[in-house]
Amino acid sequence: MIVAAAGNNGPGAEPSYPAAYPGVIAVTAVDQELNVYRRATQGGYVDLAAPGVNIWTASSKGSGTLKSGTSYAVPFVSAATSLLLASNPTLDPKVVQSGLEARTRDLGKPGWDPTYGFGLIQVAGLCPQPTKPAPVTASYEQPAALPFAAQTSEVP
């Protein structure tokens, strides 16, 4: 599975590669109001949207900083892809991609569109919920009194 940033060259720019290659999951970025990132490249190859505006990230100065771009949205979709594959490692990549696309919040025009793709990735519900585990029981036998002898030690 390859997940790639849709690009930051603006809405009218040429497709960005590797995101525009067939079989690659192309991710665009949205802000906290779910508006597409102003510099995000748009087009027929965009698959999914994820948070990518004002994302707190590490900086070279040893602290952190807020960054924006479609590259910052990719980790969200990569993590969702990993969760889906962790629950079923034998899934075909096309099944994984369609599973991600089916679990989105539609943004923009109804259905797929070149701005948001299928919509905002929704991680909840990607993996089956664990069943409640059976209670753990244990039995033990209490031993008879343990013999011990008093010991003394001299400390220099």
- Given a contact cutoff of 8 angstroms between Cβ atoms, the answer to whether 19 and 5 are in contact is yes
Separation CA 100–CA 120 (nearest Å)? 10
Residues β-bridged to residue 3: 25
Identity of the amino acid at 39: R
Taking the alpha carbons at both ends of the chain, their separation in whole angstroms is: 68
Separation CA 100–CA 70 (nearest Å)? 17
Please report the pLDDT score of residue 144 as a whole number: 66
Residues β-bridged to residue 55: 67
Evaluate the CA torsion angle 118, 124, 130, 131 in order and state its sign. Answer: negative
Average pLDDT of the segment spanning 40-66: 95
Please report the pLDDT score of residue 121 as a whole number: 97
Residues β-bridged to residue 106: none
In the CATH scheme, what is the homologous superfamily, with its name and number, of domain 3-121? Peptidase S8/S53 domain (3.40.50.200)
Tokens 């793709």, located at residue: 117
Q: What is the pTM of this model?
A: 0.80
Say which range, 34-38, 57-61, 136-140, 142-146, has the weakest mean pLDDT: 142-146
Q: What does the domain layout of the chain look like in residue ranges? A: 3-121
Tokens 């599975």, located at residue: 1
pLDDT in tens, 74-117: 999 999 999 999 988 999 999 999 999 999 999 999 999 999 99
Separation CA 32–CA 134 (nearest Å)? 41
Please report the pLDDT score of residue 40 as a whole number: 98
Cα 152 from chain centroid (whole Å): 61
pLDDT in tens, 110-154: 999 999 999 999 998 787 777 787 788 887 777 666 666 666 667
Separation CA 144–CA 50 (nearest Å)? 63
Please report the pLDDT score of residue 155 as a whole number: 74
